[in-house]
Amino acid sequence: MCVGDRHLENVLVSARGEACGADCGALRRGGELPPARLTRALLALAPDPESRLQNTIQLLRESKLVLPSISVAFKWMGGMYMDELRYVTGLIKGTSISHAVTIEVISKSTQPYREKYVQLLEDVFRDFDAKELYSVEEQVSSLLLQCTDPRILSVTRASWEPWI
């Protein structure tokens, strides 16, 4: 859920024509507004992304091994990733939601225009109420809106190029 940039070196397309992200640097949250950029071209390769994401998140929530495995991996990778573990854990458990994580990370950054980015996200997600626990459907709805909303996609960094 933390995929930032998409280019030919980090998008895999299967023999069946399905696309998935592949990027070891994706675990670092660098203050990008969308966790992924789902353009029409990418969505054409991903049939029914909503139900597929819901199934995946539900499986992650039900798994007894995912969070311990992620914790070990993050500890092995070192200190710069340990701050990210809290965000990933919250997303998997349902105690956090994608756009709220992005708002928090950008608010703490020194990124130029961070106040404007936070305001944009708050405007886009004004109908999402803060909760202690989010349903899988709410999490997927937030994630897909964050990845496809034209207002958010329009302010991505200029160096990003849509290869697909």
- Residue 40 is predicted with a pLDDT of 75
Task: Provide mean pLDDT across the span 22-48.
Answer: 66
pTM of this prediction?
A: 0.75
From residue 5, give the alpha-carbon distance in Å to each of 35, 53, 162. Answer: 8, 19, 9
Q: Is the pLDDT of residue 103 over 80?
A: yes
- Residue 84 is predicted with a pLDDT of 85
- DSSP state letter for 29: -
- Residue 29 is predicted with a pLDDT of 46
Tokens of 52: 């597929």
Q: Which residue has the higher pLDDT, 64 or 161?
A: 64
The alpha-carbon radius of gyration of the chain (Å, integer) is: 16
- Please enumerate in sequence order all residues whose Cβ is within 8 A of that of 80, keeping only pairs 6 or more positions apart, or say none: 28
What ranges do the domains of the chain cover? 49-153
- Residue 21 is predicted with a pLDDT of 58
Q: Is the pLDDT of residue 24 over 70?
A: no
